Amino acid sequence: MRAVIIGTGPAGITAAETLRREDPSGSVVALSTEPYAPYSPAAMADHFLTGRDDTLYWKGQNVAELRGIDERRESVVIGLDVDNREVVLHDDSRIPFEGLIIASGSKLNAPLEGADLPGIFDFKSLRMADELIGRVKRGEARSALIVGNGFIGVELSLLLADLGVDVTIIGRRPWIMPRVLDTLTAAVAQRGLIERGVKLHLGVEAEAFVGSPNVNSVRLNDGQLLEADLIVAATGVKPHIEFLHDSPIVTDWGIHVDDTLQTSETGIFASGDVAEARDWLTGERFVHAIFPNAVAQGEIAASNLLGANLKYDGAEAMNSLKHLGIPIVAMGTIDQPDDVLRWESGSALRSIYLRAGTIIGAQLAGDIRAAGVYRSLMLRRADVSCFGRGLVEPGFDIGNVIWDALAAS
Ligand SMILES: Cc1cc2nc3c(=O)[nH]c(=O)nc-3n(C[C@H](O)[C@H](O)[C@H](O)COP(=O)(O)OP(=O)(O)OC[C@H]3O[C@@H](n4cnc5c(N)ncnc54)[C@H](O)[C@@H]3O)c2cc1C
């Protein structure tokens, strides 16, 4: 098959490799907007901190050459001609396809006044991250304001603090990563951030980016104006779908896909942060923008483009803070539990969210060794009521005791 893939992020490059493996006589063109080899955004902080390239270019910088993928960088798709089965590029050239996978990922979503002014940084792409960290490393920036207290804002704050920047996070909700962490787990993370020198300005609303010719401050809704050398937007992400505006492909927040990850058009699939796939727990369409979902979806979309007809089990929610010094993992949901079990000792905290005897979410801080066990029980929808409070206590994760108990229950 002559296939085109929009994107060489974790979803796109996985799809490209899968196509080459499963259809060696076909051809694959893989497009990206940036000048870099396929990379993992999740490894950017580590890359800038350590200088390591191997996790950033997680497939190797020569993956395209090695696998026979026609990788084309700085090739921006601006439209899709579904009737003629062609992708339209920024220079008006066209690439014909028999099968298409859209893996264009997500971009910054900054619904704030002044968000389109020059001088605002983000940490969503390697190109932007390179510019931002370049300014710090050249000594041009000693202070930073990060607007947004979600995962990316927190990761970036730790990186900047380690690089000697005086960094403040501004967040609307009074605790960090409010969509992912409950207040108790967030409190553990916040203590860690403060110890690392990150300042938290939470429970305040950033209203506008301000400054001319370049943005140099943020106005809060109480009128305060906060200034810094670097102003960073980490206000959330949204799927990269603007090039689909004239196409018949059905979109909402992201691209609608069915259980095989096919879009509303036959032979056109979507995967990764751009796809609204089913949530494994609720069955509703949702974008869980994380690396493992992107990789799994890229593989399935490619196999299904070749006719495999595999069903995608559903996207899961899972986040871990890697650079805090205190390991923290959050998985599943904390919405509408009918019971919550907690165990705390020193800086270790476990919270298990239950509904109808099954785990719907888990948050672990300090000691995350049981994360794999909880995840496995959650994904199996196992009835864990037989464990009672023992479910959160230390030692729960030891060996086959769990599986024996489950088998007997
Ligand atoms: C700072 C940061 C830290 C993260 N940390 C973690 C983590 O610890 N764990 C985790 O699970 N997840 C993490 N994530 C999320 C994870 O990186 C994403 O879920 C994953 O990258 C999604 O992969 P993707 O291929 O769908 O999209 P992306 O990685 O966004 O790739 C999109 C690709 O599409 C291309 N593209 C976009 N538009 C066009 C166009 N018009 N024409 C041509 N090409 C186009 C882009 O150039 C790019 O190649 C992190 C993300 C960031 C930004």
Contact 269, 4 (CB under 8 A): no
Backbone angles phi, psi at 387, to 5 degrees: -85, -20
Give the CA dihedral 130, 41, 253, 77, nearest 10 degrees.
Answer: 70
Lowest mean pLDDT among 3-7, 223-227, 311-315, 393-397: 393-397
Q: Mapping DSSP to helix (H, G, I), strand (E, B) and coil, where does residue 210 land?
A: strand
Lowest mean pLDDT among 33-37, 284-288, 360-364: 284-288
Structure confidence at residue 327 (pLDDT): 92
Q: Which of 18-32, 304-318, 329-343 has the highest mean pLDDT?
A: 18-32
Please tell me the distance from the alpha carbon of residue 350 to that of residue 368, in angstroms, as a whole number: 8
Structure confidence at residue 350 (pLDDT): 95
Check if 32 has its Cβ closer than 6 Å to any atom of ligand 1.
yes
Share of the chain above pLDDT 70, in %: 97
What is the residue with the minimal CA distance to atom 13 of ligand 1? 42
Share of the chain above pLDDT 90, in %: 82
Check if 275 has its Cβ closer than 6 Å to any atom of ligand 1.
no
The conformation of residue 381, written as its DSSP 8-state character, comes to: T
Check if 316 has its Cβ closer than 6 Å to any atom of ligand 1.
no
Average pLDDT over residues 157-183: 95
Give the CA dihedral 366, 367, 373, 378, nearest 10 degrees.
Answer: -20
CA of 70 to the centre of ligand 1 (A): 20
Lowest mean pLDDT among 11-20, 197-206, 231-240, 342-351: 342-351
Average per-residue pLDDT for the chain: 93
pLDDT in tens, 329-376: 999 999 899 999 999 988 899 999 999 999 999 999 998 888 888 998
Check if 48 has its Cβ closer than 6 Å to any atom of ligand 1.
no
Structure confidence at residue 275 (pLDDT): 97
Q: Which atom of ligand 1 is nearest to the CA of 274?
A: 26
Average pLDDT over residues 289-312: 96
pLDDT at position 400 over 50: no
Q: Which atom of ligand 1 is nearest to the CA of 41?
A: 17
User: For the residues of 75-144, what is the DSSP string, one character each?
Assistant: --EEEEETTTTEEEETTS-EEE-SEEEE---EEE---SBTTTSTTEE-SSSHHHHHHHHHHHHTT--SEE
User: For the residues of 82-101, what is the DSSP string, one character each?
Assistant: TTTTEEEETTS-EEE-SEEE
**Which candidate, 305, 310, 263, 250, places its Cα nearest to that of 98?**
305
Check if 157 has its Cβ closer than 6 Å to any atom of ligand 1.
no
Q: Which atom of ligand 1 is nearest to the CA of 14?
A: 25
Q: Kindly tell me the sign of the dihedral angle through the C-alpha atoms of 9, 14, 15, 20.
A: positive
- Token output for 201: 């300005």
Substitution candidate for ligand 1 out of 291, 297, 316 with most atoms within 8 A of CB? 291
Average pLDDT over residues 295-323: 94
Check if 14 has its Cβ closer than 6 Å to any atom of ligand 1.
no
Count of residues making up the chain: 409
